[in-house]
Amino acid sequence: MFYNEKSYVYLDGALVKASEAKISFYAQSLNYGNAVIEGIRAYKTEEGARIFKAKQHFERLQRSANIMGLDIELDPKHLEEMAYELLEINHLENAYIRPIIFTGDSMGLRGLSKAKLFMGVFKWTNYLGKKPLRTCISKYCRPNSKTFPIEAKVSGTYVNSILAANHATKNGFHEAILKDDQGNLAQGTGTNLFIEKNGELFTPKRGSILPGITRQTIIEIAEEEDITLHEAMLTEEDLKNADAAFLTGTAAGIVGIQSVDKTEFLTEGDELIYPKLTQLYTDLLRSSYSENYTII
């Protein structure tokens, strides 16, 4: 699904066939989740493939690796060049880019010899689909920032997202909305949350969220479009009293929320902000000037 016999990936500094790239069963990353990842997209533009906010993504990867103390030298500019090289070799323009920094064999929990870098590129459509989603408030809460470095994209942390997503699916919902351990709204399983109320936007403030690069892009677009946006502490009641709500992420794009538990939202209408935002965001992705947007 992610590669074929002709696909190439980067592994530990070398270009290798995707079908020949291997990880050991004894790797600490596989056993204990000590790895950091990024989720990046490239889009076909008039000037060829453009990686959206490459700098921000590769710098976040570097920050995540530093937070976890992974022993690897990373240069975001070089990582960006590697990604463009992979897009070219694999003949991809609209693609998802997945770097992973992982550790080698160990059954121990402490620091290790050098970490390694994997990078693959592949086709992937909007992972939550394009239709407004039926969601539920999850019984799981986001990890507390004292439990996990919540602003880093650490593989192990995703067990929380997997539990919430599976629980939502089992109960007939498309997606889960997680609160923080204090009961405030946090985010989706792999997305950030926005609420619309009386023509203004609200999004949970930083603290127990992964501050998404798409979230930041929405903040920038709102500013440019003179749309009032509040980064605030939000409650379940705020969400359920909203006019509309949507989720954002690199893999998901902007996707509307049809309902949360039994509360229904508007998903279309001239008064809604997010259909306009979706258009502006899509235009931005397809334009080569998108890289000029400010840094998260």
CB of 147 to ligand PMP, least distance (A): 14
- What angle do the packed helices 274-285 and 213-224 form, to 10 degrees? 110
* 179: exposed, middle or buried (Cβ count in 10 Å: 0-12, 13-18, 19+): buried
Nearer to ligand PMP by Cβ, of 132 and 190: the residue is 190
Nearer to ligand PMP by Cβ, of 132 and 249: the residue is 249
CA distance 156 to 90: 29
State which residue has the least CB distance to ligand PMP.
212
Both tokens of residue 207? Answer: 């603290």
Q: In the 8-state DSSP scheme, what is residue 20?
A: G
CA distance 155 to 171: 25
CB of 158 to ligand PMP, least distance (A): 7
Nearer to ligand PMP by Cβ, of 62 and 161: the residue is 161
CB of 12 to ligand PMP, least distance (A): 24
CA distance 158 to 165: 10
Exactly one of 53, 153, 170, 205 is catalytic; name it: 153
CB 184 within 8 A of CB 235: yes
Mark whether 205 is an active-site residue: no
- Which residues lie below 8 Å from residue 238, measured CB to CB, with a gap of 6+? 185, 195, 197, 202
Residues near ligand PMP, by CB under 6 A: 39, 161, 187, 190-192, 210, 212-215, 248-250
Nearer to ligand PMP by Cβ, of 9 and 61: the residue is 61
CA distance 257 to 259: 6
Reduced to 3 states (helix: H, G, I; strand: E, B; else coil), residue 99 is strand
CB of 20 to ligand PMP, least distance (A): 28
- C-alpha distances (whole Å) from 1 to each of 4, 10, 15, 100, 162 are 8, 18, 20, 18, 20
CB of 176 to ligand PMP, least distance (A): 12
Nearer to ligand PMP by Cβ, of 8 and 175: the residue is 175
CA distance 159 to 65: 18
Q: Give the residues across from 134 on adjacent strands.
A: 259
Nearer to ligand PMP by Cβ, of 3 and 158: the residue is 158
- Please give the positions annotated as active site: 153
